Amino acid sequence: MQKPIRKAVFPVAGLGTRFLPATKAVPKEMLPVVDRPVIEYAVAEAAAAGVTHMIFVTANGKSALQEHFDRHAELEAVLRSKGKTAELKRLAAILPDGVRCSVEIQPAPLGLGHAVWCARQIVGDEPFAVILPDDVVMADTGCLAQMIACYTATGGNLLAVQDVPPDRTDRYGILEVGNDQNCPGGLAEIRGLVEKPAPADAPSTLSIIGRYILQPEIFSALENGEPGAGGEIQLTDAIAALIGRQPVHGFRFQGVRFDCGDRQGWLAANVAFALQRPDLEGIRERLRRLLESD
Ligand code: G1P
């Protein structure tokens, strides 16, 4: 019997430089995909997987993120007085009942591994999830829920993975695959991990997508870790240090992943999610006309 995954860490301290000037005053996680900020997709995915404690690791000057998940009494009062019940429901759905949020500040941009390490006290001695909100996954069953279903059988550490084009390995954590069972669960045993290798040095094209289930021992691996790729403390390196001591598996999830930290990925996510919305059905025809006149 595995301990349940009750907590999820969201590293959201990044500057969003790829999106300037849009992200000069607005955190990149607050950019909308259709009408919900990117961070809301990540939190909804975690809540749907049974997570009840959301931990944001953020930087100073990103208070909009916290405000989004706080109640806004004045706005609610105005909407109530105008009888805008649909809008009130939308606000209430931002954070499902029984879910709470904590905020931890990452004092300096020392890397993803360091951001996760900053959450060690709130996480404590239990397994937890990490969600990188830039990676938005469109799926019938949320990516984290798929992982938790698998984790219940495997235990240990589980990383969401996907094949990427061979010339893009230098953007991801890449797996050296051991026993690739290719079983219905889509599991791959991980023999090694390399952060952002050049295509010529990449052990495979199977790459980490921003969803992890980790055991609390990751914190001591992070504490003892040296700076890695890009001079940053890498989560990938700390997970690699656990291999051989604990099970570490890659999990091929079902769904479409959009990199919303990248302008094209974010635009594609907007189109894809809009096309699924019955209240925006006119978008299909508009897109068709735009493409025809191109
Ligand atoms: C991070 C991880 C990398 C992973 C990627 C997924 O990189 O370090 O291993 O493949 O997220 O999006 P980043 O995108 O923060 O550079």
- Angle, CA 200 vertex, CA 232 and CA 197 arms, to 5°: 15
C-alpha 207 to ligand 1 mean position (Å)? 9
Distance CA 100, CA 52 (A): 6
For the chain, what percent of residues have pLDDT higher than 90? 88
Instruction: Indicate the pairing of strand 128-131 with strand 7-11.
Output: parallel
Q: What mean pLDDT is predicted for residues 121-141?
A: 97
C-alpha 137 to ligand 1 mean position (Å)? 15
Atom of ligand 1 minimally distant from the CA of 229? 8
Per-residue pLDDT band at 186 (split at 50, 70, 90): confident
Instruction: Among 57, 132, 162, 253, name the best residue to mutate to test ligand 1's pocket (greatest count of ligand atoms within 8 A of Cβ).
Output: 132
pLDDT by residue (tens digit) across 187-235? 898 999 999 999 999 999 999 999 999 999 999 999 988 899 999 999 9
Is the model's pLDDT at 158 over the cut of 80? yes
Question: Cβ(260) to ligand 1 under 6 A?
Answer: no
pLDDT by residue (tens digit) across 207-217? 999 999 999 99
Question: Cβ(11) to ligand 1 under 6 A?
Answer: no
**3-class DSSP state for residue 73?**
helix
Q: Supply the residue whose CA is at minimum distance from atom 5 of ligand 1.
A: 172
Q: Label residue 99 exposed, middle or buried (CB < 10 Å: 0-12, 13-18, 19+).
A: middle
Question: Cβ(112) to ligand 1 under 6 A?
Answer: yes
- Let me know: does 57 contact 8? Beta carbons within 8 Å: no
**Could you tell me the two tokens for 102?**
């904590």
pLDDT by residue (tens digit) across 79-126? 999 999 999 999 999 998 899 999 999 999 999 999 999 999 999 999
pTM: 0.95
pLDDT by residue (tens digit) across 255-276? 999 999 999 999 999 999 999 9
The confidence score (pLDDT) of residue 16 equals 85
The closest alpha carbon to 43, from 4, 3, 93, 109, belongs to 93
pLDDT by residue (tens digit) across 46-61? 999 999 999 999 998 7
C-alpha 284 to ligand 1 mean position (Å)? 32
Q: Label residue 201 exposed, middle or buried (CB < 10 Å: 0-12, 13-18, 19+).
A: exposed
C-alpha 135 to ligand 1 mean position (Å)? 9
- Let me know: does 246 contact 193? Beta carbons within 8 Å: no
- Let me know: does 271 contact 287? Beta carbons within 8 Å: yes
Atom of ligand 1 minimally distant from the CA of 261? 14
- Let me know: does 219 contact 117? Beta carbons within 8 Å: yes
Question: Cβ(237) to ligand 1 under 6 A?
Answer: no
